[in-house]
Structure 1
Amino acid sequence: MADPQTTAIPIRWYSRFDPRPGLRRVRDSAIAIVQIVVAASFAYWFAADILGHPTPLLAATVTVSSLGLVRDARPIRVVETIVGMLVGILVAELLLILAGSGIWQLALSVGVALIVARFISSKASFAIAAAIQAIIVMALPVGVPFVRLLDGVIGGIAAIVVTSLIPRNPLRATLRDGAAAFAAVQDAAATLSQALRRGDRMRAARALEKARALQPVMQNWGESLESGLAISRISPFTRRRRFELERQARIHTSLDLVVRSLRVVARRAVYLSDDALARPLAADLVNDIFRGAAVVSASLTDISVEPTARAQLLAVAAHLDPRELAPDAPLGDQNLIASLRPIVVDLLVAAGVSPSDARAAVPRL
């Protein structure tokens, strides 16, 4: 009879294994993988079979390194990486001619490649790409000078062409990052509302921490939008999505301003919560405002809900006068309500209202 403890081990191990994150990564990188496979194979075939180069290693490695699986797939980033690699190849080819191959020559080529690359570009990745290619050239010398440089050019051209002809889906990444940004903003706002309703200073401080932590998710969304817009300008297959990307860019800009204003409101809430008094009016206003923000978030995938978002936010904006809402409240409480006004204005702009009309929607103080 088998020991039950022995037989339970693989069952417990299997129960902890979840393939879904790995499958999501594969799904999200599917087009990038196709790009790399096509570009590397084509570049190697062209250099080997058409030009007759004996070992066109760099034709393939340049495509892999320049395309990559990174979030930022802008053509300008691909070109920058290609140029960095070509700098390293050129430096190593020249040193091979002048000094031959060997350990000290390899060290010299790497050092010179790094110096030249750092002089040309401030980006560390540019210099690293140059150094790696210099090492490959010095480690695998061939008889004909500058053959590897031509291989690198072929690989670079293949990468740029594939970026245009097999573009990555720009909307998938931007929608995912946009939803993540809105969810994080809503989480910070919900914590702020709870703090105001309970007069809880610790919870208000937590809301401020969450508001301060929003910058990375906003930056991720911005990078995805920049990459998608850049691809849509050069690829005939993604040009039709440019309107949606530009609309998302408008929403991103407005939400970035909302995040900054949310930090201001959270700081005020932390200060005011020292008295441990509940502020249900301010909590209700935060809830009403960010219910409108939730509809703006839904408009990322369904533009038809934009009018609903505008209607909800306009209804809040029309009464956002601290003197009307809380005439007998202390000045600090009135200032807290007043600090919500920029959030409503920026959310209205995100929902498609012109900046001037959005500003006019809130009462004059």
Structure 2
Amino acid sequence: MSDAQPTPPPTNTVAVPITWRTRLSPRPGLARLRESWVAVAQIVTAATCAYLIGRYAFGHETPMIAATVAISSLGLARDARPRRVAETVVGMLTGILVSEALRLLFGSGWWQLAVTLGVTMLTARFLSASPAFAIAAAIQAAIAMILPLAPVPFSRLLDGVIGGALAVLVTALLPRNPLTVVQRDARAFFAGFDAAAARLVTALRHGDRRRAERGLEKARGLQPALDAWRTALESGQSIARISPFLRGRRAELERQARMLHAMDLAMRNLRVVARRIVYVCDDGRPLPVPAEALAELTRAATVVAASLDDISEEPVAREALLAFARRLDPARMLPGAPLGEQALVSAMRPLVVDLLVATGMPPADARAALPRL
């Protein structure tokens, strides 16, 4: 009997020490500044102009609500689509209207504040399913109730309209660059896609079920990155529709929308492939041919990701995928192999189609590129 201790399995997890320099690094803060300076400019412009219009055009002594509505409508959120801004404005105007009406009827005080908040939030919940809509209405209702009584009834409602109109106008005339956020989120998704596929390739080369399960977990964890990409893209497209300054970005945003739809399907099919890999790795036998096939597919997906920044990479990725697709016949690639391995190669076929569609190829042509089974 040997006294040698078994060698622990290799791990790909490495502890990353967090030092005081990491905690005090200015880089995260500088990154936030780069991402937010346009939003800050929008807010400052809209709030200041709303205040000036309320104060000097309409003679309101304290047009605070005009400024607060503009600030709250825009915010620093990544989703700055005009529809969301308009919905927030409507919510705040609802709160101001209810507050002004109840104040005329019952005056102001602690119990009037409680009644106003209750009526406002119930009304807002009836009008919209969005919790943010009700909260925005309640905040403005509280401000309108607590402030001193305005000389003219419902003048604060006019202030709210001014602030909301400025918020929507600034969204169109001082738009945030949508492509910056869209491409960043798209790159994050492709990085996760590549990491999941690379882990699955390693699992096939070693016949390692544990690595295959981790690759499956990574593939299942891609949804938040895809959702972030979709949110940024939908926001950018909404802004581009109303902004004359983003007219030239519409075609690129449409291309990104096509890529996103295709990669959504590719992500789902990668999970199917990953589940097959978990199954075939159960006996611990290396599978070099399927591993090399998936590795080739992963390299092509990397070129698809590169086309986010350089559209000239699209035809390069398409040709690489077409060359791979023409050879993707399980019987020829794995003659005499078990059905499980051939089913794994067959599961890669829809994934190839999705990646071809991401490069701009029509779905019918992408499917026709595969050999008939």
Q: TM-score, normalised by structure 1?
A: 0.95
Q: CA deviation at 1:336?
A: 0.7
Instruction: For 2:58 and 2:184, locate their aligned partners in 1 and report how far apart those are by CA, in whole Å.
Output: 43
Partner of 2:311: 303
Instruction: Determine if the alignment matches structure 1 residue 56 to structure 2 residue 63.
Output: yes
Letter in 1 for 2:301: A
| Kept in 2: contact 1:75–1:231 (CA 8 A) | yes
Q: Number of paired residues?
A: 354
Partner of 2:25: 18
Question: Which of 189, 193, 198 is the equivalent residue of 2:206?
Answer: 198
Instruction: For 2:252 and 2:48, locate their aligned partners in 1 and report how far apart those are by CA, in whole Å.
Output: 33
Partner of 1:5: none
Q: CA deviation at 1:141?
A: 3.4
Question: Which of 222, 225, 232 is the equivalent residue of 2:230?
Answer: 222
| Kept in 2: contact 1:66–1:82 (CA 8 A) | yes
Instruction: Determine if the alignment matches structure 1 residue 28 to structure 2 residue 35.
Output: yes
Q: CA deviation at 1:16?
A: 4.5
Q: Which runs of 5+ in 1 are unaligned?
A: 1-11
Q: CA deviation at 1:230?
A: 0.7
Partner of 2:175: 167
Letter in 2 for 1:285: A
Instruction: For 2:119 and 2:328, locate their aligned partners in 1 and report how far apart those are by CA, in whole Å.
Output: 63
Q: CA deviation at 1:224?
A: 0.6
Partner of 2:260: 252
Superposition RMSD in Å: 1.1
Instruction: For 1:244 and 1:23, locate their aligned partners in 2 and report how far apart those are by CA, in whole Å.
Output: 28
Instruction: For 2:223 and 2:175, locate their aligned partners in 1 and report how far apart those are by CA, in whole Å.
Output: 28
1:87-236 correspondence to structure 2 within 5 Å: 87-143=94-150, 144-236=152-244
| Kept in 2: contact 1:101–1:141 (CA 8 A) | no
Q: CA deviation at 1:280?
A: 1.1
Instruction: For 2:148 and 2:108, locate their aligned partners in 1 and report how far apart those are by CA, in whole Å.
Output: 8
Instruction: Determine if the alignment matches structure 1 residue 85 to structure 2 residue 92.
Output: yes
| Kept in 2: contact 1:269–1:336 (CA 8 A) | yes
Partner of 1:266: 274
Partner of 1:286: 294
Q: CA deviation at 1:44?
A: 0.4
Q: CA deviation at 1:14?
A: 5.8
Instruction: For 1:292 and 1:336, locate their aligned partners in 2 and report how far apart those are by CA, in whole Å.
Output: 18
Instruction: For 1:14 and 1:186, locate their aligned partners in 2 and report how far apart those are by CA, in whole Å.
Output: 30
Letter in 1 for 2:222: L
| Kept in 2: contact 1:88–1:130 (CA 8 A) | yes
Instruction: For 2:87 and 2:60, locate their aligned partners in 1 and report how far apart those are by CA, in whole Å.
Output: 25
Instruction: For 1:16 and 1:146, locate their aligned partners in 2 and report how far apart those are by CA, in whole Å.
Output: 50
Partner of 1:8: none
Q: CA deviation at 1:112?
A: 0.9
Q: Tell me, what secondary structure is at the counterpart of 1:70? A: coil
Instruction: Determine if the alignment matches structure 1 residue 75 to structure 2 residue 63.
Output: no
Partner of 2:324: 316
Letter in 1 for 2:117: V
Deviation larger for 263-272 or 353-362? 263-272
Q: Tell me, what secondary structure is at the counterpart of 1:303? A: coil
Instruction: Determine if the alignment matches structure 1 residue 342 to structure 2 residue 350.
Output: yes
Deviation track 1:190-221 (CA, whole Å, cap 9, x = no partner) reads 00111111111111110111011100000000
Q: Tell me, what secondary structure is at the counterpart of 2:125? A: helix
Letter in 1 for 2:183: L
Partner of 1:66: 73
Q: CA deviation at 1:147?
A: 1.0
Instruction: For 2:256 and 2:20, locate their aligned partners in 1 and report how far apart those are by CA, in whole Å.
Output: 43
Instruction: For 1:195 and 1:289, locate their aligned partners in 2 and report how far apart those are by CA, in whole Å.
Output: 15
Deviation track 1:146-173 (CA, whole Å, cap 9, x = no partner) reads 1111100000000011000000001101
Letter in 2 for 1:266: A
Letter in 1 for 2:157: L
Q: TM-score, normalised by structure 2?
A: 0.93
Instruction: For 2:22 and 2:308, locate their aligned partners in 1 and report how far apart those are by CA, in whole Å.
Output: 36
Partner of 1:237: 245
Aligned-residue identity in percent: 59
